[in-house]
Structure 1
Amino acid sequence: MDEGASHPAGKSASNNVIALMMTRFRRGDSGMIPIVIGLFVMGIYFETRSSAFLSVGNLTNLAIQASIFVILGMAEVWLLLLGEIDLSAGFTAGLGGAVAVILVDLQFHWPWYAALSTALLVSVAVGALWGLLVIGLRLPSFIVTLAGQFGLQGALIWVVDSQGTGGTISVHETVLYNIVYGNLTPLFTWIFIVGTVAIMSFNMIRKNARRSAQNLESQPTLILGMKVGGMLVAGVLAGWVFNSNRGTFTKLNGMPYAIVVVGVILAASTFILNKTKPGRYLYAIGGNAEAARRAGIAVDRYRMLAFVLTGLTSGIAGLVYVSQLNGISDGIQGGTLVLYAVASAVIGGTSLFGGRGKMMHALIGGFVIATIYNGLALLQFGSAQQYIATALVLLAAVTIDSLARRGSTIVK
C-alpha cells in the first residue's frame, strides 16, 4: 500500500517541476539549465572527436580562454540590463591593457599597483565619456560606442606605435604576467572552490526559503537540489582538474589567478545587482524607465553608473588579456572581442531588450563560446567554422529570448 501510494506523489512532483519550467519559459525566464545541458553535450561531442579535449591541460586552457569572454560579457551585462550596449568594450580593454604594459615596463617602470590602477582609471574614464554622450545628448548607445570603437582603435594604434617597439609591446612585469600564468597552491585552490560552492549554495537555499515563507514563487525542492548538487559536482571536478599535474617537464598545478579574478568579479557584481539599491534600480530602469522615473528613481544617475561599471570591468578584462597574450599589439581584434562578449551574455540568458539578466549568464555563455572555439581548434577547423558555429548558437539564443519575451507578453 505504501509503495503504491508513493508513485502518485513522485509523479505529481515531477509534473509540478515540468509545469513550473514551462511557465517560466513562457514568462521569458527559461533559466540556465538548457544552456548547461548544451555545454555538456558539446563537451561530450568534442571528446568523442578528440581525446585531448577533456585532458586536464586542455580544460585549464579552456577556462583561461573563457575568462576573457566571461569578464567582457559581464561588462556588457551592466548595460544590457538597461537595453543599452557598448560596442567599444573590446578596445576599451585593449587600451587599458596597453596603458598598464607601457607604465609598468618600458621607460616608466611604475610600481605594478600604480600602473594597473591607472589603466583601470583610463577604462573608467572611457565608460564615463560614453555615458555623458548617451545621457547628456540623448544619443543611441549603439552609435556612440560604435564611433568609440573606431576612435579607441585609432588611439590604441597611436599609443602602441609611439613606443617604437614595432607595434608590439611585451609583458615583463611579474604580477601582470602571473594574472594568467601564475597559480594558487593546491590547498588554496580547494579553499577557494569549497568557499565559493558553500556561499552560493547557502545563498540559494536561503533565498528560496525566504520566498517560500513570504508565499512568493519558489523553486521546487527537486530543482533546488539539482542545482546545489550540480554545483557540488562542478566544484569537485574543477578542483581535480586544476590540482592535477598538467606540466610536461615540470610539475604544474593549481587554479590560475585569472579564474580567481573571474570569481571575484562575479561575486562582487552579483552582490551589487542583488543586494544593493543601485542594483535593484538598474533592473527597474531596464524593465520600464518611465515607471522608474515616476517612482522617484534618478534614472540618468544610475544609467551613468552602468556605463562606468562597464568601463571598469572592461579594463579588468584588458589586464587579463595582455597577460594571456604576454603583451599587446596594434592589431588587437577588439571588434571581435566585443561581439564575443555580447554573445556570451546573450547566449547565457541575458535579454537584449533590458530588465532581465545575471552576471552568471556571462559565465555560462563565455564557457559556451570558449568550448566552441577550443573544440573546433582541436579538430583543426579554421576561423571560418568557429565564427559560423558561434553565429548559429547566438542566433538560437536570441531567437529563444525573443520568443520567450513574446510569450511573456501573452501570459501577462
Structure 2
Amino acid sequence: MSTTTTTTAGGIQVVQPTVGSHLTGYWQRVRGGDIGSLAAILGLVVLFLIFGFARPETFLSALNFSNLFSQGASVIFIAMGLVFVLLLGEIDLSAGYTSGVCGAVMAVLLSNHGWSWYTAIPVALVAGLVIGFMIGFLVSKVGIPSFVVTLAAFLAFQGVLLVLLGGGTNISIRDPFVLALANKNMSVAMSWILAVVAVAGYAATQLIKVRGRVSRGLVHDPMGIVLLRVVGVAILVFAGVAILTQERAINPAINSLKGVPIVVPLIAVAAIIWTFVLSRTTYGRHVYAVGGNTEAARRAGIPTDRIRISVFVICSFMAAIGGIIAASRASSVDPRSGGSNVLLYAVAAAVIGGTSLFGGKGRVIDAVLGGAVIAVIDNGMGLMNFTSGTKFIFTGLVLLAAASVDALSRRRAAATGNR
C-alpha cells in the first residue's frame, strides 16, 4: 500500500501516489508540524463525547443540534473575516464592535426610518466596507500598527453605537426577512434538495480537480482518497440533514420546527466563496505570500499595501454580516451588541480552528471548525449548569492550548525543514 505507480503524461514520466503512500505522506506532514485543523476536529469529537455522555437527553437532541448553528453563526462569520487579517500576521480588535455598529445601522434604518430589508442590509454592508478601508489605510499607508488602530476603533465604535442608538435605546427588529435569517428553517424538501446538491457539487469539484491535474501531467490525489472524501462529506451532510428534518417542537400542533436552519446554507456559501478566493485565485496566493514574507512578496512585485488594506476590508465586511445575523437572532440591537465576548470568541474560533497567529497559515474552514468548538463549549457547559465564569475559564484554556499547538507545530516544522 505504500508503493507508488508510474504513469506517462505527454511523454513526461510522473510518479503518482497510491492510497497508502498518500496516507503515509499525510502522517509525515503531521509529525513534521503541519497539523492543520486536525486538533480542532479531534477537539470537537472529544467535546461531543463528553457532553453527549453527560447530558444525552438534551445535548444530543435535534433541537439542541439546531440551536448550535444559531448560537455559533455570528461568531463564525466574524471569524471568517479575521482569518484574512491573521494570515498577514495582523489583528483586528474592532471586529466585534464593527459588527454591532453595522447591525445598528440596519436596525435604525429598518425601525426608525421605515426602510425595507433590501436597502437597509446593503447600507449596513457598505458601512462595514468603509470601516475596513479606513482601518486598512491607516495600517498600510500611515504605518500605524494594527493593534493600535483597531484598539482605538474598538473604543470609538462603542461611542458610535451609543450615538446610533440614541444614548442606549434598545431597537427592536420586526422585518420578517431579517428575523428569518437566524431564526427560521428551510422546508424538509428543500433541506434534502440542498444536501444532494451540496454533495454532488463537492464530488464534481473533486473530480474536476483531479481531471485537471491529470490533463496537465501533474501529481494528483489517488481516486481512493477522493472517494473517501466524498463519502465522508456525504455521510456528515446527510446525517446532519436527517437530524435537522426531525420534528423539534415541544408542541408541533402549534408551531412545527423541522428543516435545516436558513443560516446553515449562508455559512456554507460564505465558506465556499472565501475558500475559492484564497485557494484558487491570484489574490489568495498573494495574501499567503505577504503573510509568509512581506519583503519577499514586495520584491516579487506584489502590491503589499493593497493586499493589507483588502484583508481589513474583508474582515469588516464579514463582521457586518455577523452583526446582521446577531441582530436577527436577538430580534433587536442594544448598546452591548458586538461587545462582551464577541471579539474574543471570534479570534478564538479562528485560532482554535488552525489559523496561525504568526501569519501565513490558515484557511476559511478553520473559522467554521473553531466556531463549532466555541459553540459546543458554550452550549454544553450551559446545559451542565456551569457558571459563566467557568465557561470563560475553560474557553480561555482551550484557546491557550490551540495557540500552544500552533507555536509548537511551527517549531517542529522549522526543525524538520517543512516550513
**What TM-score do you get using the length of structure 1 for normalisation?**
0.91
Question: d(CA) in 1 for partners of 2:90 and 2:221?
Answer: 30
Amino acid at match of 2:236: A
Identity %: 36
Alignment of 1:257-406 (within 5 A): 257-332=262-337, 334-406=339-411
Change (3 A) 1:74 1:17: same
Question: d(CA) in 1 for partners of 2:218 and 2:398?
Answer: 34
Q: Following TM superposition, by how much is the alpha carbon of 1:207 offset from its aligned partner in structure 2, in angstroms?
A: 3.5
Deviations 1:279-325 (A, max 9, x none): 12111111111111111111111211111111111100110000011
Question: d(CA) in 1 for partners of 2:157 and 2:36?
Answer: 36
Counterpart of 1:161 in 2: which secondary structure? coil
Change (3 A) 1:212 1:380: farther
Q: Corresponding residue for 1:203?
A: 205
Q: Unpaired runs of 5+ in structure 2?
A: 5-16
RMSD: 2.3
Question: d(CA) in 1 for partners of 2:353 and 2:219?
Answer: 23
Amino acid at match of 1:297: I
Deviations 1:362-405 (A, max 9, x none): 11110000000000000011111211111121111111111111
Change (3 A) 1:351 1:223: farther
Q: Corresponding residue for 2:105?
A: 99
Conservation of the 8 A alpha-carbon contact between 1:63 and 1:259: yes
Question: d(CA) in 2 for partners of 1:45 and 1:215?
Answer: 47
Q: Following TM superposition, by how much is the alpha carbon of 1:332 offset from its aligned partner in structure 2, in angstroms?
A: 2.9
Change (3 A) 1:212 1:388: farther
Q: Following TM superposition, by how much is the alpha carbon of 1:31 offset from its aligned partner in structure 2, in angstroms?
A: 2.8
Q: Does 2:81 align with 1:75? A: yes
Conservation of the 8 A alpha-carbon contact between 1:346 and 1:352: yes
Q: 1:190 aligns with which of 189, 192, 208?
A: 192
Question: d(CA) in 1 for partners of 2:204 and 2:292?
Answer: 28
Conservation of the 8 A alpha-carbon contact between 1:92 and 1:123: yes
Conservation of the 8 A alpha-carbon contact between 2:95 and 2:316: yes
Question: d(CA) in 2 for partners of 1:231 and 1:32?
Answer: 16
Q: Following TM superposition, by how much is the alpha carbon of 1:216 offset from its aligned partner in structure 2, in angstroms?
A: 6.5
Question: d(CA) in 2 for partners of 1:77 and 1:134?
Answer: 17
Conservation of the 8 A alpha-carbon contact between 2:39 and 2:354: no
Conservation of the 8 A alpha-carbon contact between 2:75 and 2:345: yes
Deviations 1:32-82 (A, max 9, x none): 234223212211211111121010000000111111121111010111111
Q: Does 2:59 align with 1:53? A: yes
Change (3 A) 1:391 1:204: farther
Change (3 A) 1:207 1:357: farther
Deviations 1:221-267 (A, max 9, x none): 66544433321111011111221111122211112221121111111
Q: Following TM superposition, by how much is the alpha carbon of 1:90 offset from its aligned partner in structure 2, in angstroms?
A: 0.6
Conservation of the 8 A alpha-carbon contact between 1:104 and 1:112: yes
Question: How many pairs are equivalent?
Answer: 401
Question: d(CA) in 2 for partners of 1:224 and 1:398?
Answer: 31
Conservation of the 8 A alpha-carbon contact between 2:2 and 2:20: no
Q: 1:173 aligns with which of 172, 175, 190?
A: 175
Q: Following TM superposition, by how much is the alpha carbon of 1:128 offset from its aligned partner in structure 2, in angstroms?
A: 0.8
Q: Does 2:113 align with 1:111? A: no
Question: d(CA) in 2 for partners of 1:225 and 1:174?
Answer: 42
Q: Does 2:80 align with 1:90? A: no
Conservation of the 8 A alpha-carbon contact between 2:2 and 2:21: no
369-378 or 259-268, which deviates more: 259-268
Counterpart of 1:36 in 2: which secondary structure? helix
Question: d(CA) in 1 for partners of 2:381 and 2:221?
Answer: 37
Deviations 1:174-204 (A, max 9, x none): 1111111122111211122222222233334
Change (3 A) 1:335 1:144: farther
Q: Does 2:138 align with 1:136? A: no
Q: Does 2:260 align with 1:255? A: yes
Q: Unpaired runs of 5+ in structure 1?
A: 1-5
Question: d(CA) in 1 for partners of 2:151 and 2:222?
Answer: 44
Question: d(CA) in 2 for partners of 1:183 and 1:234?
Answer: 19
Q: 2:242 aligns with which of 240, 243, 250?
A: 240
Counterpart of 1:265 in 2: which secondary structure? helix
Conservation of the 8 A alpha-carbon contact between 1:149 and 1:335: no
Amino acid at match of 2:42: I
Conservation of the 8 A alpha-carbon contact between 2:19 and 2:225: no
Amino acid at match of 1:70: I
